[in-house]
Amino acid sequence: MSVVTVSSQFGAGARQVGRAIADQLVMQYVDQAVLVDAARQLGVTVKSVSEHDERTDSLRQRLGHFLQRALERSAAGGNVDPLMGAGNLELMLAQSYEDVMESDVPTFIDDRTYLETITDVLKDLASRGDVVMIGRGSQMILRDHPDTLHIQLVADEDQRIAQVMEWESVTREVAERRARDFNRHRAAFHKKFWRVDVWDPRLYDLVINTTHLSYADAAAIAAVAVKAKSRGTDPL
């Protein structure tokens, strides 16, 4: 069972390519929004999990099960604050790179608890396999996980800015600022927690430039690499 992590420059298409990979390989797709939604529905989800065979659980139910275990481990370890309930877990998962990194942004969680919780959740997901994960340091957390392909997406700045302008209906000035801030905070996030340069291509099995490739084509290239790595062979 394979796992794929997708990291990206802002505007290079992580979600689009990630979803396309999941569709092509019939894998589950998990990004920050999916995790937040699962935490928001945690009370209902955990009750549902107890009434069904895990093999037939929906993705939301499985995520709820993983998140509930994270809460239980936190409580068992004495970390009852802030992870004492699903509401606070939802807020924690919703934090952006900026929220985690900026000292002037109010925070309610210490670095150790944040990293331990994210690590627990992502490793739980990876243990079930057949999942595509977007960001959140997944390429570092799962760097030693077997049958895992780590992908980095890049693109020329003009292409990335144009995409952000289209997706978010903002001016070029706003798109440039968002891209600059996201990339800066993402780099600082990885430097703080793992002391690595997030743009170092050696952190990834595959770096794809989406400037002149469609997201579907980028996903097709990634799919070949996923199958090759799972076989332990050269994709070419």
**Which CATH number do you get for residue 155?**
3.40.50.300
- The rounded mean pLDDT for the chain is 81
The DSSP bridge partners found for residue 206 are 151
Rounded average pLDDT over 90-99: 71
Same domain membership, residue 147 and residue 75: no
The pLDDT of residue 32: 83
The pLDDT of residue 77: 53
Same domain membership, residue 22 and residue 49: no
Report the domain count for the chain.
Answer: 2
Indicate whether 105 pLDDT > 50. no
Which residue, 102, 128, 154, sits at the end of a domain?
Answer: 128
Same domain membership, residue 14 and residue 40: no
Indicate whether 83 pLDDT > 60. no
**Each residue's pLDDT tens digit, 18-63:** 999 999 999 999 988 888 777 776 654 434 433 433 444 566 666 7
Q: Which domain holds residue 73?
A: 32-128
**Each residue's pLDDT tens digit, 115-128:** 887 888 888 889 88
**Each residue's pLDDT tens digit, 145-191:** 988 999 999 999 999 999 999 999 999 999 999 999 999 999 999 99
Same domain membership, residue 221 and residue 135: yes
Rounded average pLDDT over 72-90: 55
Q: How many CA atoms lie within 13 A of 171 on its CB side?
A: 3
Rounded average pLDDT over 82-93: 60
Which residue, 128, 160, 178, sits at the end of a domain?
Answer: 128
Same domain membership, residue 135 and residue 23: yes
Which residue, 113, 128, 143, sits at the end of a domain?
Answer: 128
Give the Cα separation of 151 and 142 in Å (integer): 12
Same domain membership, residue 135 and residue 120: no
6: which residues sit within 8 A by CB, 6+ positions away?
Answer: 14, 17, 18, 21, 132, 133, 134, 135, 151, 153
Same domain membership, residue 47 and residue 162: no
Give the residue, 45 or 232, on which the prediction is more confident.
232
Give the Cα separation of 18 and 6 in Å (integer): 7
